[in-house]
Amino acid sequence: MSIISEEDKKTLGSAVELKLKELKHDLSTLDGWTFLKEESGIKSYSITIEGDSNLKVKGGGIIKTNKTPEQFMDWLDEQNCNAEKRKTYDPTIIFREIIDRFGPDWYVFHAGMESGSMMVSNRELLGQNKRFVEGDKVYRVATSCEHESYPEVKQGFVRLISKLNGWYAAKKGEGELEVWYVNHSDPSGYVPAWLVNTRLGTTALSVLKCKNMIENE
């Protein structure tokens, strides 16, 4: 049972629906996107959003697996919702917990990450995560959210803003999935440009990390 009202739940639902539309648009075209690099068949790109100093990045390609798109998302949720498992591909994670749930595929989470520099405060994130199944295509959308019933910023942390964190998976061929990841966030506060660029490059290749883990299972 959720700890917020049905009305507030509807507000969060409307916000995540808009982000689903944004994710679909980002996946539909390469117009305006700058190619970053390709590794093991996974290509990554970035795009500058007008009026926003933070780049949006995406990366994707083929993962050889017998998992269905929904099974891939189940696997991904298992990695993301368990801080210890998440550390296998994201060593910056400090904590991650589900603090509210609206259904089996829709929940609110609270997570903390190391900044990667002693000069920069660690970051934390309060966000909602929802899965959408559309035929043989599955989307998973996460974005920041706030509510008076949810945790305040932890002492010593800065709360970053996730404008869009989205995954897409679809059956491509026998034993193959096409998987893409899109991320657009504002780290908030002071972060050196070199550190932002380093994290962006790593983030864009999140699909590669999943590919390596799954294909080596």
Phi-psi region for residue 189, left (φ > 0), alpha (ψ -120 to 50) or beta? left
155 burial via Cβ count (<10 Å: 0-12, 13-18, 19+): exposed
**Model pLDDT, residue 135:** 94
Query: Tens of pLDDT along 125-176?
Result: 999 999 999 999 999 999 999 999 999 999 999 999 999 999 999 999 899 9
Which distant-in-sequence residues (6+ apart) come within 8 Å of 70 by Cβ?
Answer: 133, 138
Walk me through the domains of the chain, giving residue ranges and CATH numbers. 6-215 (3.30.530.20)
**Model pLDDT, residue 118:** 80
Which distant-in-sequence residues (6+ apart) come within 8 Å of 199 by Cβ?
Answer: 116
- DSSP string covering 84-106, please? HHHTTT-TTEEEEEEEEEEETTE
Please report how the helices 206-215 and 193-204 are oriented relative to each other, as an axis angle in degrees rounded to 10. Answer: 40
CA distance 138 to 134: 6
Q: pTM for this structure?
A: 0.92
- Torsion angle (degrees, nearest 10) of CA 163, 76, 69, 211: 100
**Model pLDDT, residue 89:** 67
**Model pLDDT, residue 100:** 96
**Model pLDDT, residue 130:** 98
**Model pLDDT, residue 194:** 66
Residues of the chain with pLDDT under 70: 83, 89, 193-195, 197-198
CA distance 4 to 18: 21
Query: Phi and psi of 144, rounded to 5°?
Result: -60, 150
